[in-house]
Amino acid sequence: MRKWENNIRKVMPYTPGEQPQKAGVIKLNTNENPYPPSPRFARLLEEMQSGDLRLYPDPDAGSLVNAIADYHGLLPEQVFVGVGSDDVLAMAFLTFFHSSKPILFPDVTYSFYDVWADLFGIPYERPALKADFTIAPEDYYRENGGVVFPNPNAPTGIALELPAIQDILEHNRDCVAIVDEAYVDFGADSALALIDRYDNLLVVRTFSKSRSLAGLRVGYAMGNPLLIKYLNDVKFSFNSYTMNQPSLYLGSRAMEDEAYFQETLRKIVNTREWAKEELKKLGFIFTDSKTNFLFARHPDYPAREIFEALREADIFVRYFDKDRIRDYLRITVGSQEEMDALIRFLKNYTHGR
């Protein structure tokens, strides 16, 4: 080892889902929305002034913050924005988890949490999900330096009901609790209604899933103004210009077409429920997903083998070679046509063996 490597921070990085470059594939591995953003976006792109790109963006991201606040009925001081919810969550870890006590998050959950904890030197413990992959609120009653969990959880897709979330919050008044709601629009209870009751609650969301804007990279957090102030203090000590001009402009207009937004949500939920029934007919076992993906296994066929067979057929799903979940596949809910193709393949695969 070179001597200068002794001073390098070494971490095990997060592994994102594969982005195949081959044309014509069915991509069901990164939980992207199968439907494009509102048709109004074409007009917005034409209206955007390219000359503005010579200027630094507004460091306060005022237009985007105000639009999000208006949509949710909040004050601008209750909203923080970042480059996707990963950026927001990383900033929250850096800001709020500064204790010698371990933070708590589930053993089966979003796999970026332990990466950030290791990167920032944050001690952590991972209470095990129950056998059915549900969170046990009582596992979060212990002393800790913070709590974070997705609702619905990923990759299991299971949602906690609001009373269970409140139970966790009641037992964690002395630390910051983060509820990561990347998938909440697909059928889960939101903790947003609780932010006025719990001044230590931060709710994080993204435009990447339900709003069909993964490429725009817009995430945001909502909480009491003091939490948001602390987040901005850390952000401005790190990078003043986190949001680019196109993201600010387009993001601030992204919530205008509510009818289209609700229509695409209905399509995805309907296709999800249809896919559950079809997978059940084929012998698959799965959780009751409230997200835009399914978490499924087959008792007779190893998940890795199904994953590789699908990949050979240019159908990409996600496989995690990890304890407790290596028998499962995470399958994004695509368009009805894409899911038809998936089910046809699985019928041939299971019936032909």
Same structural domain, 208 and 110: yes
Contact 189, 159 (CB under 8 A): yes
pLDDT at 351: 84
How far is the CA of 108 from the CAs of 28, 135, 140, 154, 333, in angstroms? Answer: 20, 10, 15, 8, 21
Same structural domain, 236 and 296: no
pLDDT at 353: 63
pTM score, whole prediction: 0.95
Count of the separate structural domains present in the chain = 2
Tokens encoding 45: 């792109």
- Give a yes or no: residue 56 inside a domain: yes
Give the whole-angstrom CA distance, residue 330 versus residue 327: 10
Same structural domain, 32 and 152: no
Same structural domain, 238 and 100: yes
- Give a yes or no: residue 6 inside a domain: no
CATH number of the domain that residue 339 is part of: 3.90.1150.10
pLDDT along the chain (353 residues), means of 10: 85 86 93 94 83 88 97 98 97 97 98 95 97 98 97 98 97 97 97 97 98 96 98 92 92 94 97 98 97 97 97 96 96 98 96 72
Give the whole-angstrom CA distance, residue 96 versus residue 226: 12
CATH number of the domain that residue 116 is part of: 3.40.640.10
Same structural domain, 209 and 287: no
pLDDT at 11: 86
Domain boundary, last residue among 253, 268, 296: 253
- Give a yes or no: residue 10 inside a domain: no
Same structural domain, 244 and 133: yes
Among all chains, which residue has been given the structure tokens 């719990």?
A: 198
Same structural domain, 287 and 317: yes
Domain boundary, last residue among 253, 284, 304: 253
Same structural domain, 30 and 77: no
Tokens encoding 173: 């008044």
- Give a yes or no: residue 4 inside a domain: no
DSSP E strands: which ranges in 138-271? 146-150, 177-180, 201-206, 219-222
Please give the residue range of the domain that contains residue 101. Answer: 49-253
Domain boundary, last residue among 253, 281, 304: 253
- Give a yes or no: residue 103 inside a domain: yes
**Which one, of 123, 128, 94, 93, lies nearest residue 108 by Cα?**
128
Same structural domain, 57 and 167: yes
Same structural domain, 140 and 97: yes
Give the whole-angstrom CA distance, residue 241 versus residue 93: 19
- Give a yes or no: residue 242 inside a domain: yes
The letter for the amino acid at 301 is Y
Same structural domain, 28 and 90: no
Give the whole-angstrom CA distance, residue 125 versus residue 144: 9
Give the whole-angstrom CA distance, residue 79 versus residue 220: 7
Same structural domain, 199 and 221: yes
CB atoms within 10 A of CB 16: 11
- Give a yes or no: residue 44 inside a domain: no
Taking 3-state DSSP, the helix, strand and coil percentages for the chain, each rounded to the nearest 5, stand at 40, 15, 45
- Give a yes or no: residue 7 inside a domain: no
